[in-house]
Amino acid sequence: MNGPDLATTYLGLPLSSPLVVGAAAPLSADPDLIPRLAEQGAAAVVLHSLFLEQIEHDWQEWEHHQQHGSESFAESLSFVPPNAPTHLGIAGYLQEIESARRRVDIPIIASLNGNAGGHWAGTVRAIEQAGAQAIELNLYAVPTDAERSGGELEEEQLAIVSTVCTATRLPVAVKLSPSYTNLAHFARRLHQAGARGLVLFNRFFQPDIDIEALEHVSNVLLSSAADLRPPLRWIALLEGQVPLDFAASGGVAHGTDVVRLLMVGASVTMVVSDLLRHGPGQLRQLETELTGWLEQHNYASVQDLRGCMSQRRCPDPAAFERAQYVRAISTSPAGSALGTHL
Amino acid sequence: MSTASIDGNEAVARVAYRLNEVMAIYPITPATPMGEWADAWAAAGRPNLWGSVPQVIELQSEGGAAGVLHGALQAGTLASTFTASQGLLLMLPNLYKIAGELTATVLHVASRALAGQALSIFGDHGDVMATRGSGCALLCSGSVQEAGDFAAIATAASLRARLPFLHFFDGFRTSHEIQRVELIDDAVLHALVPQELVAAHRRRGLSPDHPVIRGTSQNPDVAFQAREAANPFHAAAPAIVQEVMDAFAALTGRAYHLFDYVGAADAERVLVLMGSGAETAQETVEALNAAGERVGLLKVRLFRPLDTTALIAALPPSIRAIAVLDRCKEPGSGAEPLLLDVGQALLQAWAEKPGPLPRLIGGRYGLASKDFTPAMVKAVFDALARPDPPGRFTVGITDDVTRLSLPVDASFCTEAADFRAIVYGLGSDGSVGANKNAIKIIGDHTDLYAQGYFVYDSKKSGSVTVSHLRVSRTPIHSCHLVQQAHLVACHQWDFLGRFDLLEAALPGGTLLLNSPFPPEEVAMRLPASVRQAIRAKQLTVQSIDATAIARELGLGGRINTVMQTCFFALADVLPQQQALEAIREAIRHSYGRKGGRIVEANLQAVDASRARLQQVPIADDEPASAAAAADPSQAPAPDPLAAASAALRRLIAPQLARQGDRLPVSALPADGSFATGTARFEKRNIAESVPVWDTEVCVQCGKCVMVCPHAVIRAKVVEPAALADAPAGFAHAAARDHHWQGQSFTLQVAAEDCTGCGLCVEVCPARNRAEPRRKAINMEPQRPLREQARGHWDFFLSLPNPERGALNLAHVNQQQLQEPLFEFSGACAGCGETPYIKLASQLFGDRMVVANATGCSSIYGGSLPTTPWSSNRNGRGPAWSNSLFEDNAEFGLGFRVGFDQRRVISAQLLRDTPGLPAGLRQGLLEADQHDEPGIFEQRQRVVELRQWLEANAPTSALNDLADDLVKRSVWMIGGDGWAYDIGYGGLDHVLAGGHDVNILVLDTEVYSNTGGQMSKATPLGAVAKFASGGKATAKKDLGLMAMTYGHVYVASVAMGASQEQTLRAFLEAESYPGPSLILAYSHCIAHGIDMAQGMTQQQRAVDSGRWLLYRHDPRRSERGENPLQLDCPEPKLAMAEAMAGENRFRLLGYSHPDQARALTRQAQAEALQRWHQYAARAAAPADASKGAPP
């Protein structure tokens, strides 16, 4: 007897399962790792992010070093060869796309990360030519300018999405942070700008400090179970409200986590931290757990449960809103212990 | 036919590249760019005329390049090379061979002076004339257009004549001048060099399928005849060249002849010369004839083989007097080469002609790129008109010694170009780039002729650049500096007070100022002399704060777009709208791919420039403003040369004021010897910001003092009483080192000599706890500090230096109290080399003799007008000399054996001097001088000896040799280009011997001085010039090679990784009584790093294992210890991370990511392997490691 059907679609791409490898350099920057991920059941791989600021920064660096110290002393009017690279900053990324396409059959999704300016259209076109099958556009932003309103920033991001979607025929998913005034409204605007999907959510990198050396310390913390909650809630809220595909990102560590996210409406779940902790074999483990759960609960396919617990279809729509928060806090043992009063 | 605005080097390279299959290259100024172009094109896969990509191969020297050239020619390929000056001399032996074997090739030579009394990178024909006897044809071009044309003509003629050609043109004046030229398309080259010529050349190549032997050894019976057998080829060559020239004319419309006559058909006075000077002479001849004179000019194109018949035939029959000008000097000869040959031609011709032989005189001009002006040309014609013209003369200088120079009327001017400009900029501020771009815009968008020539000074930081620009409706023949400018632009306000930049301003012209002051203050801020000149010449003054605009728009210090826009606004050579659109188009073209922000910022800069360029009225009698008067930085600076001797003032002051051309011969030493300690007189004030000391935070470690590349941060420890008269604000603190308990520590900055590099801040370990972004050293704007800092510095210098013998040299904080005898060099801001040189000068300067290989260190160490090498209060300090690039180890060894011999003689004299107290004699002969106290005591004995000699043997030869009894510390200093490549053979030989020499290799891993070409020290994966695709082989392990001798002290150091280890290595190396080799990692501007982070990059190089720290001391073997000590732990930083910090490595990832990844992996593996190899060697039992192979 065949097991449950795990097949799903995301951004119009037919996938063998909802288990997609999320964007992370340690997982996809090494061209030898992608075939291993595919062997372990990855339905698609989102390549690590190409940072638009990095490309522009590379060009500025290139320009700077072309000029630095030049035309100053008669014997050394320049210090670097004059050849301008064709794909400065993205040549390596394009090679990775081409290599991945050659070596695996699963869809390869390119990830672009940026929040302003940049040579978006040209970069997207080059990525499309290299063979990527979709684009994940990561609008990672940490606004710090007190003079600029949230509305201005959202308009800027929408313009980027529009530019990218106009420049390519590939489907585009937008990866967002949870920090929007009205995420539902913004999601609708993103759809209008051409996006086909949302990836929820970015986890912000949070710096630390070294109290001995009085310096900043950069280290990335892997996601935990708590990180599952924001995508779970927001996919549940948005599913059905906006005609977009949803990818859940953050905190997936068990087959049941995948089930939960599918139930609130996710098309796919992105897995990163769990793979970084346990290696590519963890994909197969997740798949086994997912299959087992589906069999145990007599689901013939993931489509049978997808969206069943979204806000529109769940038995308690208020659970995802403020009322549930009030309820949860007031009944929390921790809240009681602290004498919290709301 | 298409045109382009390019310089002579590019014009030649474009042709040579297409007409060759193998190019053997080696960098040498001013020919380097030709090789760089060829390498870049080959790396980009550009094919030659016949569809193959030429092999461009860099050698270890020009001698090597000539060998490869010779071999490639023998293999039947079309091969070429580019060179100049000493490089051409190194090729000389091969030229005889190549010519003797009747082999077709062209060497393109950007001709340059040969080093005699001094090195000069500038142009004259001394190098080419040294090849006259080789049998090569010598073809000379005089302009950028001709340089490209003659590159093609020479190649075609060479293949037909079967003679090697030296195609030469004036270094800098032609090689670096930009002109709009007509390009030679492929069809023309195909027509000139048909396949059958190539095939014939190939057939002459060696092949085992039809073997011959060449290069035999011949006996007296036949060698002479064999030498004469080639005569028909030399005899036929001139006609062949003319035929090729005629074919070229038919194809392009540009006609040339072996000798081109210009001027009056009935001229009686004619000038004969070749090269760019002939262009200036043409301009002058045309002006003189237009004024009613009858003069002429004969341009010599083919100097060898000389067709005397054609030469005579080209002269007008009316000729009565000829002046031949040579751009070279042959001391002791009857005449310079061209003069000799013309004389011979005249004698031959007039033997069969009626009438008197024309009067023949000759002179030297333009040596080492001395500007050759129309006034000088006229001076020669005037001399020819005299009834008694001088037979031999010089022109362009004032010779008050041998009185050979002709008087020149400097007011004579023939400037004919419609628009002329002179632009003064600061090195690397974008001024030159802006002007080059302006020339290209004019060339690309109009039918106008445009010319740009750029003059640089000898400083690598804070240099002054001067752009000379001409635009004209007719062709420009003015191959000389602009003498009368419609526009003078000053891009750096401080220049206004430093030298007269309005001398060449045309009355009624315009002065464009990049002013840090608002327009309403500009007039008041101008130095009085400038205001006076503006009024006298009725100049219009336009002002803009370009630096502010660039800063506001995020363009850093690059003011190119702003100043270019202003240039076109004022130059009136293009309609304004057209000019603006052309600038915008150039911006989009240049920056389009580099991101919207760069394009946008530059486009905004165009608009801002238009809006903010403002005319400034200069009233007749402008009072200084209150603001200006209150600004101490605006007060007239005291004369920095006030403390200099009259002789030094006479020599240096005019050079600093850019008036060195006016110095007469008598002002210059005849043998090239100059006083040291003169850089302190410059006070260049080039730093925007300078370090300021925070006494509270400082831990007095001395690290900032040690790394300062320019010796501008110094520390002293003095008795508190010594500070009683300290000027207000003079910072000091209680000394922290218990060794100096109760004394005061002070750290001061020579703000006027600082370059503002920031290395001191980087290495400072002390953070301000209240504000951790601040340290014990912080950069602050220089201008407001200048006045006070000057007083503080002078007071600091007046404080006593510590007793050298009392310092514990094992500790950096004490050692760094030693006075540096290398200060304020013109090296790049943040230079990684100079801290090592300075350290050596602190430790050993008073007994140091330096042989310095040509390169960066010889340039910032020995370029006029001043030198950073200096002496202490006793008048002792390093004695320094530069021989060549290739022979520095041998040169230094010569010092050693010379001093050793002098010591042997002095010791013998000591023994033979009767009556000398035995104790003194024994003390002098047996002195232990391995450390500071030992040397001090020996000096005391020498004083005692001198006193005794004065009283008892005043005529003894020992009087002259007594100082030789004190240790002489011989140092050979140079870069990796010298030690790893061109000088390696000599270096190896010196190491193999047992002489007590110290070799300091400043390893920047590229040829830094010529702009970053690959050497064998270049690491795997680095992109460098001549290695555009990344170096695919590992860096040579010079230290390991030296260690295999067993008896060589070897240290590998990186000051940024360990100051203490560096210090130990220097002390050990110098004390070791045999050959010592210190390999010093030197970060460099060519690495593509933020120079303020140079020491961090050194640390990363060590942390990743790319550079090891170790010391190999053979003395340890004698003690039964392993001689090798590895001073760095196992690499812990990923190679990829370390390499990502330097642009030279990142570049490969931009263009060849796969290769970059592969090379990075390889570099990682090799670094680990190398560290383990060294660790194993260092851990091995002492006997096993002694002299053991790796």
Instruction: Give the model confidence (pLDDT) of B749-798 as tens digits.
Output: 999 999 999 999 999 999 999 999 999 999 999 999 999 999 999 999 99
Q: Do A206 and A317 share a domain, yes or no?
A: no
- Respond yes or no on whether ipTM tops 0.95: no
Model-level pTM? 0.93
Contact across the interface for A91 and B1144, Cβ inside 8 Å: no
Q: Coil, helix or strand for B556?
A: coil
What confidence score (pLDDT) does residue A43 get?
97
Q: How far is A99 from chain B (nearest CA, A)?
A: 11
Q: Which of B951, B872, B870 is nearest to B916 (CA)?
A: B951
Mean pLDDT confidence for A220-235: 90
Q: Do A278 and A335 share a domain, yes or no?
A: no
Q: What is the residue whose two structure tokens read 């060559």?
A: B237
> What is the residue extent of each domain of chain B?
3-208+229-252, 259-395, 419-616, 641-667, 682-802, 904-965, 1004-1185
Those residues with Cβ within 8 angstroms of residue B1161's Cβ, 6 or more apart along the chain or in another chain: none
Which of the residues B77, B1009, B1062, B1096 is marked catalytic?
Answer: B1009
Distance of CA A128 to the CA centre of its chain: 18
- Number of domains chain A is built from: 2
What confidence score (pLDDT) does residue B770 get?
92
Domain that holds residue A332: 312-342
Query: What does the DSSP 8-state code read for residue B53?
Result: P
Contact across the interface for A72 and B40, Cβ inside 8 Å: no
pLDDT band at A85 (very low <50, low <70, confident <90, very high): confident
Q: Which of B911, B918, B1035 is nearest to B961 (CA)?
A: B911
What confidence score (pLDDT) does residue A89 get?
79
Please provide the size of chain A in residues: 342
Residue of B nearest to A52 (CA): B595
Active site residue B112: yes
Pick the CATH number of B1004-1185 from 3.50.50.60, 1.10.260.40, 3.40.50.970, 3.30.930.10: 3.40.50.970
Region B3-208+229-252: CATH code: 3.40.50.970
Nearest CB among B461, B1011, B1154 relative to A77 is that of B1011
What confidence score (pLDDT) does residue A331 get?
59
Residues in chain B with CB shorter than 8 Å from the CB of A64 are 556
pLDDT band at A323 (very low <50, low <70, confident <90, very high): low
Active site residue B81: no
Residues in chain B with CB shorter than 8 Å from the CB of A54 are none
Q: Do A316 and A239 share a domain, yes or no?
A: no
Residues in chain A with CB shorter than 8 Å from the CB of B598 are 56, 59-60, 63
Q: Do A243 and A320 share a domain, yes or no?
A: no
Residue A3 lies in a domain: no
The CATH number given to whatever domain includes residue A251 is 3.20.20.70
Q: Do A246 and A337 share a domain, yes or no?
A: no
What confidence score (pLDDT) does residue B802 get?
92
Q: Do A22 and A63 share a domain, yes or no?
A: yes
Element (H, E) at B656: helix B646-656
Active site residue B29: yes
What confidence score (pLDDT) does residue A338 get?
45
Q: In angstroms, how far apart are the furthest CA atoms of chain B?
A: 97
Q: Do A51 and A182 share a domain, yes or no?
A: yes
Backbone angles phi, psi at B271, to 5 degrees: -100, 140
Exposure string of B47-65, with b = 16+ CB inside 10 Å and e = fewer, is ebbeeeebbbbbbbbbbbb
- In this predicted structure, the answer to whether residue A211 has a pLDDT above a threshold of 90 is no
Nearest CB among B595, B769, B1149 relative to A119 is that of B595
- In this predicted structure, the answer to whether residue A288 has a pLDDT above a threshold of 90 is yes
Half-sphere exposure of B417 (CA within 13 A, CB side): 30
- In this predicted structure, the answer to whether residue A205 has a pLDDT above a threshold of 80 is no
Residues in chain B with CB shorter than 8 Å from the CB of A72 are 427-428, 456, 460-461, 463, 465
Nearest CB among A63, A80, A88 relative to B1012 is that of A80
For B134, other C-beta atoms within 10 Å of its C-beta total: 21
Tokens standing for residue B264: 């009056």
Residue A186 lies in a domain: yes
State how beta strands B614-616 and B540-544 pair: antiparallel
pLDDT band at A335 (very low <50, low <70, confident <90, very high): very low
What confidence score (pLDDT) does residue B1152 get?
84
Residues in chain A with CB shorter than 8 Å from the CB of B172 are 74
Mean pLDDT of chain A: 89
Q: Do A253 and A329 share a domain, yes or no?
A: no
Contact across the interface for A72 and B1028, Cβ inside 8 Å: no
What confidence score (pLDDT) does residue A321 get?
76
Which residues of chain B fall below pLDDT 70? 592-596, 620-636, 1183-1190
As a whole number of angstroms, the distance between CA A95 and CA A79 comes to 28
3-state secondary structure labels for all residues of chain A:
CCCCECCEEECCEEECCCEEECCCHHHHCCCCHHHHHHHCCCCEEEEEEEEHHHHHHHHHHHHHHHHCCCCCECCECCCCCCCCCCCCCCHHHHHHHHHHHHHCCCCEEEEEECCCCCCHHHHHHHHHHHCCCEEEEECCCCCCCCCCCHHHHHHHHHHHHHHHHHHCCCCEEEEECCCCCCHHHHHHHHHHHCCCEEEECCCCCCCEEECCCCEEECCCCCCCHHHHHHHHHHHHHHECCECCEEEEECCCCCHHHHHHHHHHCCCEEEECHHHHHHCCHHHHHHHHHHHHHHHHCCCCEHHHCCCCCCCCCCCCHHHHCHHHHHHHHHHCHHHHHCCCCC
Domains B3-208+229-252 and B1004-1185 are alike in CATH topology: yes
Residue A1 lies in a domain: no
Nearest CB among B558, B593, B1143 relative to A61 is that of B1143
- In this predicted structure, the answer to whether residue A96 has a pLDDT above a threshold of 90 is yes
Region B419-616: CATH code: 3.40.920.10
Interface size A-B, in CB pairs within 8 Å, comes to 158
Q: Do A330 and A295 share a domain, yes or no?
A: no
Q: Do A282 and A334 share a domain, yes or no?
A: no
As a whole number of angstroms, the distance between CA B633 and CA B1144 comes to 40
What confidence score (pLDDT) does residue A319 get?
77
Q: Do A121 and A143 share a domain, yes or no?
A: yes
Q: Do A329 and A241 share a domain, yes or no?
A: no
Region B682-802: CATH code: 3.30.70.20
- Give the fold, CATH level 3, of B259-395: Rossmann fold (3.40.50)
Residue of B nearest to A78 (CA): B1011
pLDDT band at A143 (very low <50, low <70, confident <90, very high): confident
For B928, other C-beta atoms within 10 Å of its C-beta total: 10
